[in-house]
Amino acid sequence: MKKTTLDRRLFMKGAGAATFMAGAASLPATSAVAQGKGQMQMSMAYDLNEDFNRIGSGDFKWDMIRKFARPYDIPFPMGVADMDFRTLPHITAALQKRLNHHNWGYEGPPLDYKDNIVAWNDTRYDEVVDPSTILNCIGVLDGVLSALVTHCTPGDKIILHTPNYSSFFHIITDAKCELAESDLTLNDGVYDFDYDDTERLLKEGASAIILCNPQNPTGNCWTADQLRKLGDLANKYDALMVADEIHCDFINKHAEYVPYSTLGDAYAMNSVSVKSASKSFNLAGHRTAYMYSQNKDLIGRIVKDGVHYRGLLHAMGTIACNAAYKHGGTYMDDMQSYIDGNSHFLEGFCADKLPLIDFKVQGGTYLAWLDCKKLAAKLGSPDGDDRVGDMLQDFFIQKAGVNLNPGENYGRTGVGYVRMNLGTTHAKLHGALNAIEKACNAL
């Protein structure tokens, strides 16, 4: 009886008493928003304003930065890309139920695991995923690596449009390939591919393109026209498109996510997509993802060539992911609306109170790409300094207690930028921005 009381209190803090008393299973898995029938609105089912204390769990975002940055206090760690919210209560319930079984032999995913992956992508994005092509991954990077190793020959060049997710740089070398870096173009705060430069690299023999969709760190949501134009080049030169779409559930209200596999058969057959519930429901510690493709021959080669065998994943990870996709539609809708609010608040704050920092609301992800070149100049950094980002990071930590990621981590075009994680409460974001304002005004 005592255990039941503790579980009940946990759920009531995360979801609200009325929601829990209605029963965890009764929460809708999808809403009108998820089905494209209206603007994003908060359901009020989840208390995303809760001041949830993460300190002490050993996580990278809060505990590691507090050790790294000593003697400076870091009340606002906004670097590592995970969120500060209590997760979906159904996930905790599913994990607790499995924990109470007290036996840990060999175990596969839940029987409806693939069914719920398929339903999530179909319901929210009209994306048809063939369950027979779904492969387990221990993370999105694991899937990207397997695709590259299968399709590419050691020494091949892999195109990465930068700024781009920092870990892709080492994944390319892990695949024994070489980076072919192509700078994104920027027009009025919106990024696009440099198609001429991309074709140049393909003519020179690049054998694959890593696509980040939506894009990390810029938050750009690629349009269908942009993706087809890039895909036409990939198809023309027989370069595999490897689409990391881990951030696809975070789309602000003015933008749209276009799954690469939905562009048409010619694009789907020359691509592999990799996704995970880890960003959407903050499950990164569970190390669970999945990859798929309409090209069954490609999926077969990824397994047959011996580069990818993940028949069994961590049992708790697949249980968590399954519960998320089965019951998390309303939670995700609320999260989208909340992040949209954070993004617009940040844009307004920068415009009104931070003249040294420029920001335009991103299309997707919960990451903000802040242009701090004017701030860097104010701090005295010479033009062309390769580590402007280190100086900016030190300034934000030491003068404002805010940890942000240096732009150079994401490629040569990131100089003068920093990445800010908006996956936190309105109160924490506001506190961080007030601290940054005070630090900038003191210059």
Give 187's strand partners: 190
Do 291 and 388 sit in the same domain of this protein?
A: no
Structure token digits, residue 132: 């027979």
Do 19 and 58 sit in the same domain of this protein?
A: yes
Give 290's strand partners: 136, 275
Amino acid identity for residue 237 in this structure: Y
Do 268 and 162 sit in the same domain of this protein?
A: yes
Do 340 and 311 sit in the same domain of this protein?
A: no
CATH code of the domain containing 287:
3.40.640.10
Do 286 and 164 sit in the same domain of this protein?
A: yes
CATH code of the domain containing 83:
3.90.1150.10
pLDDT in tens, the chain (443 residues): 333 232 322 322 333 323 322 333 333 343 333 333 334 567 667 888 888 787 777 776 767 777 777 777 889 999 989 999 999 999 999 999 999 998 888 888 999 999 999 999 999 999 999 999 999 999 999 999 999 999 999 999 999 999 999 999 999 999 999 999 999 999 987 899 999 999 999 999 999 999 999 999 999 999 999 999 999 999 999 999 999 999 999 999 999 999 999 999 999 999 999 999 999 999 988 889 999 999 999 999 999 877 887 877 889 999 999 999 999 999 999 999 999 999 999 999 999 999 999 999 999 999 999 999 999 999 986 555 558 999 999 999 999 999 999 999 999 999 999 999 999 999 999 999 999 999 999 99
Domain count, the chain: 2
Do 319 and 337 sit in the same domain of this protein?
A: no
Q: Report the alpha-carbon distance of residue 13 to residue 17 in Å, rounded.
A: 8
Domain of residue 421 covers 1-105+328-443
3-state secondary structure of 210: strand
Residues 6+ apart with CB under 8 A from 237: 199, 202, 203, 206
**HEC assignment per residue over 7-29:** HHHHHHHHHCHHHHHCCHHHCCC
Do 141 and 222 sit in the same domain of this protein?
A: yes
Do 53 and 83 sit in the same domain of this protein?
A: yes
Q: Report the alpha-carbon distance of residue 145 to residue 210 in Å, rounded.
A: 10
Q: Report the alpha-carbon distance of residue 120 to residue 34 in Å, rounded.
A: 10
Do 269 and 239 sit in the same domain of this protein?
A: yes
3-state secondary structure of 126: coil
Q: Report the alpha-carbon distance of residue 443 to residue 438 in Å, rounded.
A: 9
* Domain end (from 304, 326, 348): 326
* Domain end (from 326, 350, 367): 326
Q: What is the pLDDT, as a whole number, of residue 17?
A: 29
Do 267 and 319 sit in the same domain of this protein?
A: yes
* Domain end (from 326, 341, 362): 326
Do 144 and 174 sit in the same domain of this protein?
A: yes
CB 370 within 8 A of CB 358: yes
